[in-house]
Structure 1
């Protein structure tokens, strides 16, 4: 048992240190561990079989469809319309453009389902505007980077779909609803920090919008926001599944970008499809390899071994959850969200089940923890994209990011130890009793 743990995580750590792509590192580590129990041919066969059978899932079809819908929205001029809406919502607050950035990321991220796409689309529009208004570019970049992951909590979220698959069918509808309040609290917390800093620095307040401007902004944004209403209304109402909702999202996004707004043409579609296919391939390869790793962990009884070790440290559930949160915060700094979710969910799930943590609540805990990781060095994808869009070096952005990191960690603690924040909406709307 100890040998299996050493081989699995040791070989994975070595390959990560050598710069092996993470999907291949996961798959090779799983194959190497299987060699402890059986011959080479059988090990390779089981790894391949697990990858193929694990990807043979109707639920997984939602991932490429949501990725495609997000890319269409990203290229279809949706970000500018949502930014205009954010301006009328936050225009009179201190440091109004910082608040506009945060709200726009919440809105666009919830539609695209991608923190990186949100950082690029919203940051690309907001960075030059904030610079002209006298905002420190490092502060503006920090605001954009810290707020772009909010859309990973506010549905539709491919991250929560992956979590549902790993945990053997945790309700996607319940997970989607559970993400709303934490996602909104995340945005509001960042707005408080940004407002305090903006007030101290004397950043300007925008002019009060006229009724005509408010009406125009709302009308311009109402169709993009309608996507959320259609998806969540259909899932909650039982009209269609999350997978069917993802296909509807593609059709709706195509209609808006291609027919209604005409921001893209037929000639743009091959590029969007190729970009979506590449992203989907990367995600599904990681999922397939991670399923093989989960199989070898189950074969070697690794999750229950780690669970027994952690439960043996203390019988206090608060201490155990603090330990899990600390591990997830560290993991998030050097591993992207999807592989971290795929690897560590099967490890921690037996632990949290033993101490009575609801699986929907734990899905939100894992997601919000790992959201912080994509904003931090050394491998934070949102951090790199946000800095490249604004043209500010990572070294200059890290210091302005510190207050946002602190409030995000505080929010993680609140969400972890106040389960009603996550479970209130699923219980109220779905009668969830998990």
Structure 2
């Protein structure tokens, strides 16, 4: 007779291969496990509902999704892009630098790599490919690469998911992502500069410096959103979940009242899109919670910790192994599934080795973001390919230098905990 846990795993993998969502696959696998064990199947529903109802932090996810969708339907993205263009467009490979800077700015608002690529990405790709300045494949590649910064610099939806399973502070996780995110952006800017000189990319039509104050003034309402969010969180005025609500409300007010760039139909479509995205994430979280009951009952986390302990791995060896594991799994699993399924298994081992869980969270989230741009199932690859109507092969070829520099950045982040934890410690973190 097949072991119930093995049967559950086989079913999950089979459903995923057949194209079923990983959330539904985990729910089905958990249900079959309970039946095979002779347990009440309602345990799956009870575990799922208790996790969702007690997960106050999870409310931040749909609110950040809504905030990002509202930003994408208004003129907010256009104003931010023009501000970035005024800052760095005058340099060699200027629109590539604009792509990097605009992603950094937008990341302080949306918390989602997909929102960055879909919203800001459409605009900047059109600008880059106009008049043949850049090849469509390069425009797509750098857009996908820079979008990975979105969930590293706060706010961050993946950080919220990691906080859910690791029981760490969302505020400290957000703070820990600031320097790594900026470092990744800097490295991509350097890579773009090298590529611009190598391939003869042009300098953008520079905006006169005398127009910078006017452009900055027009962009200030949008630029104030990250200031309000982070200031509110770290000033103790609001929780991250409340900050997500403020982000959505603020984006709506400045888009409708100040910029007057949102129609009733566009707002309805934004609500509809947010509901779909939230439902997709919700199914994934529900499935992960039900399946986490299964792996907890099977004592998988403690078993993994015991195996690793028997291997006498050092903290450094463990982090290297985790990076390799996540880079491989990231090629076939989406970021949310990685964080919700694999992290609970790794947490006991990380704690036993004395690894700081806030630093560990940043390492894992960066890994998960790399999975969005690595073939064969990198979600951002498909998004930018759809926008540019380009085949994946030339996009992946142009993306390779960025993937390599991001892996190098990951290694630096992995082995520089003091760098990652510098800002959290300034805010009172004791780790």
Q: TM-score, normalised by structure 2?
A: 0.96
Q: Corresponding residue for 1:105? A: 103
* Runs (5+) with no aligned partner, structure 1: none
Hey, what's the Cα distance between the residues in 2 that align with 1:97 and 1:176?
28
Q: Corresponding residue for 1:200? A: 198
User: CA 1:58 to 1:312, structure 2 compared with 1: closer, same or farther past 3 Å?
Assistant: same
Q: Corresponding residue for 1:62? A: 60
What is the correspondence of 1:17-416 to structure 2 with a 5 Å cutoff?
Answer: 17-39=17-39, 42=40, 44-56=41-53, 57-131=55-129, 132=131, 134-168=133-167, 170-416=168-414
Instruction: Tell me the SS of whatever aligns to 2:150.
Output: helix
The one-character-per-residue Cα deviations of 1:302-338 (angstroms, maximum 9, x if unpaired) are: 1111122223223322111111110001111111111
Deviation at 1:129, TM superposition (A): 2.2
Hey, what's the Cα distance between the residues in 1 that align with 2:58 and 2:269?
23
* Runs (5+) with no aligned partner, structure 2: none
Give the conservation status (yes or no) of the 8 Å contact 1:5–1:302.
no
Give the conservation status (yes or no) of the 8 Å contact 2:117–2:384.
yes
Hey, what's the Cα distance between the residues in 1 that align with 2:33 and 2:315?
31
Hey, what's the Cα distance between the residues in 2 that align with 1:50 and 1:251?
32
Deviation at 1:208, TM superposition (A): 4.6
The one-character-per-residue Cα deviations of 1:195-235 (angstroms, maximum 9, x if unpaired) are: 10111112112355323321122112211121111111111
Greater CA drift, 186-195 or 204-213 = 204-213
Give the conservation status (yes or no) of the 8 Å contact 1:116–1:148.
yes
User: CA 1:210 to 1:195, structure 2 compared with 1: closer, same or farther past 3 Å?
Assistant: same
Instruction: Tell me the SS of whatever aligns to 1:151.
Output: coil
Instruction: Tell me the SS of whatever aligns to 1:334.
Output: coil
Give the conservation status (yes or no) of the 8 Å contact 2:110–2:116.
yes
Give the conservation status (yes or no) of the 8 Å contact 1:109–1:149.
no
Greater CA drift, 362-371 or 83-92 = 83-92
Greater CA drift, 375-384 or 203-212 = 203-212
User: CA 1:9 to 1:422, structure 2 compared with 1: closer, same or farther past 3 Å?
Assistant: farther
The one-character-per-residue Cα deviations of 1:156-186 (angstroms, maximum 9, x if unpaired) are: 1111111111112x11110111011111111
Give the conservation status (yes or no) of the 8 Å contact 2:4–2:37.
no
